[in-house]
Structure 1
């Protein structure tokens, strides 16, 4: 006999609203399925005379005592989708016939069938249903990776494990008929040196082997590095642009000058640019109001378009007696440039291989391709860029330049090859994204914000998508976060972050989003275009794990006093 039968009166629907179903249950033990968990978050099936059904999630319940001292359970559930009489599931909708004829717990097999309503070859697994871990929850892999992903969660929520699990699964999927690497291309910005342990075979780049040539920077990045952007000094910007353009033309004589722009990736010599600006700072006028220089023998000469290269070769001796244009204006600018160029911490940008590496080698380095006669002897699915050793003042520039290079790779791939970048799509993972693309408008983050916002808005067209990972989603550029179509939301304890995420999600997810501050480690709300219906899931354990940032204070404090080698430490600190 049906649980809904009037004689039995075990369960009945007493209210149906667009976003809520209210159910009365007389005998909870008879109602629930034996051996299956039944609680807040469980699934219900409310059906009609046509054998169509609403699938609902239990949001809350109250218990009332009746006159005969028996308990009456009042359950409120949120409808999340519609199941037609052929078993096809549609998200949303509330179009069952009136009145509903039956209400019962959704069976495990039925729930699994709903989740499996994704073409077999497109299913991508990395989690299971929290209510029942035997129910695997796939996403549509094409929709998941083809659109930007947000993974958010407070410290200790399991965020790093989630990212590692998703990427590990991505590198293991493959069609039959071949061995070796699949064709996944992933670039991961690792701010705290966590992920090398999870991907020991990855293309691992840290500050010791990172080569990021300054001559690939665009105007925003160059100015952020060498100019005091907060000072808004137009003279500095103008003379710097002038010097860079002239120097690019000097070092690329075979290139049509009209193609050489401030932003174009042509080699130039930043040390020669500094010499040019120093000469500009020293210029003096003679009695005829001309800017003249000593040719080495005491004779004066003027700089023209035909001999402007002399301004790059050496510090010239001025012969005039009166101050020329901008005389002395660039002293602070020159000092800033000298400090940057002499800073050994920035050698990956300004010295050694940064001056000799080719454009091609730079691309191959970040995309995991083997560079002939250089370092790695194989290709790699994942490139980990360990930013932990990168000085904070150039962190934004580093992320900006690499992101822009990868975006433009996708752009020119599509432009160059007829199939576009459909055959080699790339995903960039931005760990702790709030650190370098914050919501706050600051000149020092301009270049990074522009690069990543461009990927967020246009990247999908060129086979470049982003995974935005953060413990403070409310502090991330809204332009970037609002472009995400799939969300993995883990425990968030900060009310601002909770509210920010809730505002981006559908209004009918009350029981799910309200659980954000109370999720256990490894649990997440999974929703978006790629999943059949929003779900509370448990992320499968990754193997191997990323390294933990949790220091076992009590365990180490119990040990004997540690003698620190301060000599080695300070040498490492100052080298």
Structure 2
């Protein structure tokens, strides 16, 4: 009714996804008080409603003007002088007492009434919290209105938290994860934390850290498939698969794996073991064998069969201590002992030895109880540590991982978890019967769209494309969405966008927004810290939401610059010895 306190005006133009509203000149105030609460008319991003019998259509204000926009037949826009006008994008409808639904089945027409949406209407839209939803924050236009997201769609349709530095990404991540952990006793989350920021925010989490004395993160190198292994150990990739040394290297790795078919997790049929099978083997033994083949001398010529039987070995060496075997010197003339014909491993052997001697890779080559076939633990123990412990959140702290192998490390973690969910999809305790969320902090540093041979990107893209079917959901957290893989962005079902100031990042988010509601996305540069626009499959209607500040917080917050600079500090050259040692050892 036009006499209602909520009445705004009438519709003067209708498009396929928007309407234009002429505000009534009889509105007594631009900030009416309704039911004791102050409302402001014409605020960008606020809701309006269009009642049509038992159907109520809802829209979001996208622009305000004192001139309506009219287009001639040739497409040119003419401006007609008038009073006050609102452009409104249609977002959904409510039929009778049923729940609010996205999309519009019946469009409003010219001269239909438009009303202000008050707090009661917002409660009708957002509904009450139920077992299938979690509270994500409070609506920006009402401190009393909780905003809920559908947990199923949020996790299994994947989600993204995107925002510039200092916009509140880490706090938003903590809010989201805490809401899940609090509401669901059977939830499972793995947070990949490249900078080691989140342990402080989750004191009860299962924090696994590279090199930690009590809770070390073990990532055995033999979890890699052959492509990853060849790239990491000797710098070879699939483009080398026609080379003799590449094929021989594959055969050697396969042979070592087939020798270890009796395992702690259960015996494996040797005939089914390939170079890609995650079977433990001793990488130092691999190097020792390659070195042996390169440097051995034999009693027979290269044309004959040069084997261990015909070798002129003096000392077997020690592969665990990287001591090569020694042999009788081969003759320079055509006489015994003869030089080895196995020269194929020349470059591979040197690269592998260099890798083994580099202490930065100890977490891969010496993964505690998972080192090789003689170790006390196997992959079932590793899975139990990561996803089967009593603690629902596992934080994998990768701050001690060299940047050069961060890509393979994250790819390895992702692929192993995905494989466990795929092959365990029918088990009662994992797979589809107990889904899992994989969260990736600082995603742009290893999931870049321009990375052509990125193992982590390939693994994470597979989760985004196929993980839903096997109970694996993914969350990416990034300050540079324009640098993230387009495949990943296209698969994000729910977008949590905080303040973004870079125009390139804004355009990517706008084009990736599942609801294509540009009027809300245009607010990105002006959002307050800790405020986000949420759109997508997990939320009933795209919304501007305030997220609460969490304590304890991640260690990603800004330093207290003024407080630090107002103090006097004393230091000398001796004081920096500790810093230099940490730089050299790459340890905090």
* TM-score grouping bracket, smaller chain normalisation: 0.7 to 0.9
Q: In 2, distance between residues paired with 1:231 and 1:91? A: 47
- Give the equivalent residue in structure 1 for 2:2: 2
1:283 positional shift: 5.5
Say which SS state the counterpart of residue 540 (structure 1) adopts. Answer: coil
1:326 positional shift: 4.8
Q: In 1, distance between residues paired with 2:29 and 2:549? A: 35
- Give the equivalent residue in structure 2 for 1:57: 60
Q: 2:402 aligns with which of 380, 391, 397?
A: 391
Q: In 2, distance between residues paired with 1:151 and 1:330? A: 46
Q: In 2, distance between residues paired with 1:498 and 1:460? A: 28
8 Å CA contact retained: 2:11, 2:109: no
Instruction: Label 1:508 to 1:348 Cα distance change in 2 as closer, same or farther (>3 A).
Output: closer
- Verify: 1:44 aligned to 2:52, yes or no: no
8 Å CA contact retained: 1:491, 1:524: yes
- Give the equivalent residue in structure 2 for 1:436: 446
8 Å CA contact retained: 2:421, 2:432: no
Q: In 1, distance between residues paired with 2:499 and 2:292? A: 58
Say which SS state the counterpart of residue 46 (structure 1) adopts. Answer: strand
Q: In 1, distance between residues paired with 2:547 and 2:384? A: 33
For the aligned residue pairs, the C-alpha RMSD in angstroms reads 3.1
1:553 positional shift: 3.4
Deviates more, 1:389-398 or 1:340-349: 340-349
Instruction: Label 1:298 to 1:429 Cα distance change in 2 as closer, same or farther (>3 A).
Output: closer
Deviations 1:473-498 (A, max 9, x none): 12112222211211111112222221
Instruction: Label 1:58 to 1:28 Cα distance change in 2 as closer, same or farther (>3 A).
Output: farther
Deviations 1:3-50 (A, max 9, x none): 489xxx9722222222222222224444754133322222111223x2
- Give the equivalent residue in structure 2 for 1:559: 567
Q: In 2, distance between residues paired with 1:29 and 1:324? A: 98
Instruction: Label 1:60 to 1:110 Cα distance change in 2 as closer, same or farther (>3 A).
Output: same
Instruction: Label 1:347 to 1:21 Cα distance change in 2 as closer, same or farther (>3 A).
Output: same
- Give the equivalent residue in structure 1 for 2:10: 12
8 Å CA contact retained: 1:3, 1:10: no
Say which SS state the counterpart of residue 197 (structure 1) adopts. Answer: helix
Q: In 1, distance between residues paired with 2:152 and 2:459? A: 24
Q: In 1, distance between residues paired with 2:250 and 2:288? A: 14
Q: In 2, distance between residues paired with 1:549 and 1:338? A: 41
Q: In 2, distance between residues paired with 1:251 and 1:123? A: 47
1:574 positional shift: 3.2
- Give the equivalent residue in structure 1 for 2:86: 75
Q: In 2, distance between residues paired with 1:246 and 1:297? A: 20
- Give the equivalent residue in structure 1 for 2:418: 407
Q: In 2, distance between residues paired with 1:18 and 1:117? A: 31
Say which SS state the counterpart of residue 410 (structure 1) adopts. Answer: helix
Q: In 1, distance between residues paired with 2:311 and 2:38? A: 97
Deviates more, 1:489-498 or 1:248-257: 248-257
- Give the equivalent residue in structure 2 for 1:364: 384
- Give the equivalent residue in structure 1 for 2:247: 238
- Give the equivalent residue in structure 2 for 1:98: 109
Say which SS state the counterpart of residue 23 (structure 1) adopts. Answer: strand
Q: In 1, distance between residues paired with 2:291 and 2:425? A: 43
- Verify: 1:292 aligned to 2:306, yes or no: yes
- Give the equivalent residue in structure 2 for 1:548: 556
8 Å CA contact retained: 2:191, 2:440: yes
1:191 positional shift: 1.8
- Give TM-score, length-normalised by structure 2: 0.84
- Verify: 1:537 aligned to 2:552, yes or no: no
Unaligned runs of 5+ in 1: 66-70, 175-181, 301-308, 370-378
- Give the equivalent residue in structure 2 for 1:86: 97
Instruction: Label 1:287 to 1:391 Cα distance change in 2 as closer, same or farther (>3 A).
Output: closer
- Give the equivalent residue in structure 1 for 2:204: 201
Deviations 1:417-454 (A, max 9, x none): 268723321101011111112111333x2x21222122
Deviates more, 1:280-289 or 1:506-515: 280-289
Query: How many equivalent residue pairs?
Result: 537
Q: In 1, distance between residues paired with 2:501 and 2:206? A: 34
- Give the equivalent residue in structure 2 for 1:498: 506
Deviations 1:42-90 (A, max 9, x none): 2111223x2422211111212479xxxxx93222111111222335422
- Give the equivalent residue in structure 1 for 2:295: 282
Instruction: Label 1:505 to 1:567 Cα distance change in 2 as closer, same or farther (>3 A).
Output: closer
Q: In 1, distance between residues paired with 2:341 and 2:482? A: 48
- Give the equivalent residue in structure 2 for 1:271: 284
- Give TM-score, length-normalised by structure 1: 0.85
- Give the equivalent residue in structure 2 for 1:426: 436
